[in-house]
Amino acid sequence: MADHWVKLELDINSFDPTHFEKYVTRCRAEGIRLATLDELGDTPEHRRALYELNKECSADIPERGEFHSFEKYVELRFEAASYDPRGVVIAMDGDTWIGMAATSSHGDFVFNEMTGVRAGYRGRGISIAMKTFGMGFARESEAGRVRTFHHPANTNAIAMNRRMGFVDSEG
Ligand SMILES: CC(C)(COP(=O)(O)OP(=O)(O)OC[C@H]1O[C@@H](n2cnc3c(N)ncnc32)[C@H](O)[C@@H]1OP(=O)(O)O)[C@@H](O)C(=O)NCCC(=O)NCCS
């Protein structure tokens, strides 16, 4: 595993969604629907679907290793005090879940748990659309920042976040 994570953060108040709404608009024009897990229903079936999507996308994270079992994922993600289904954005093509941007709530910051887009849908701005859509949740919480960290070899994810204005974190 990496011993030098790339830690990034975004000041929520300085994020201007008007620069990024075009990604949301383009997704919708291409028939990609965005919704939170809260809006879709935080059901056992949807939790399982989120797990499968997360597992598939995580296979492309450098040195990610074997993914959690479903039971462990439930414990880490859904049973954590920081979990809030309003912070989990899903992108859908028809009934097929093709992307996720999951955040969790930690008082003065929101943490990016996982952003992933299925391989056949990458390079179309879907990750930025999901994260822009999810910024509504971050704004409504008391958080001032969104934080994330990445393996240094995960250049796509780092570029995606820098594209949105994330900068190197001090902490
Ligand atoms: C990282 C990931 C979510 C990006 O999703 P995506 O929908 O393809 O990304 P977008 O099309 O929205 O691109 C957003 C920005 O990221 C950067 N980017 C994304 N893919 C890139 C690539 N292959 N090469 C260079 N830059 C890239 C660009 O800056 C791009 O903005 P631009 O097109 O305006 O220049 C996707 O590659 C993925 O699911 N990877 C596997 C899972 C992962 O590593 N997740 C991150 C860890 S939590």
DSSP class per residue in 125-144: SHHHHHHHHHHHHHHHSS-S
Place of tokens 């509504």: 136
Question: In the prediction, which pLDDT does 57 show?
Answer: 97
Tell me, in angstroms, the distance from the centre of ligand 1 to residue 11's CA.
Answer: 20
pLDDT, tens digit, 9 for 90 and up, residues 121-171 = 999 999 999 999 999 999 998 899 999 999 999 999 999 999 999 999 976
5 has a pLDDT exceeding 70: yes
How far, in Å, CA of 167 to CA of 95, rounded? 35
User: Which of helix, strand or coil describes residue 10?
Assistant: strand
Q: Is the CB of 61 under 6 A from ligand 1?
A: yes
How far, in Å, CA of 6 to CA of 92, rounded? 29
Question: In the prediction, which pLDDT does 142 show?
Answer: 83
Residue with CA at minimum distance from ligand 1 atom 30:
160
Q: Is the dihedral of CA 118, 123, 15, 159 positive or negative?
A: positive
Tell me, in angstroms, the distance from the centre of ligand 1 to residue 158's CA.
Answer: 8
Q: Is the CB of 102 under 6 A from ligand 1?
A: no
Q: How confident is the model at residue 4 (pLDDT cuts 50, 70, 90)?
A: confident
Q: Tell me the average pLDDT across 28-49.
A: 98
H or E segment at 34?
strand 32-36
Pick the more confident residue, 103 or 1.
Answer: 103
Question: In the prediction, which pLDDT does 2 show?
Answer: 62
Q: Tell me: domain 6-168, CATH 3.40.630.30, correct?
A: yes
Tell me, in angstroms, the distance from the centre of ligand 1 to residue 155's CA.
Answer: 8
Average of per-residue pLDDT values in the chain:
95
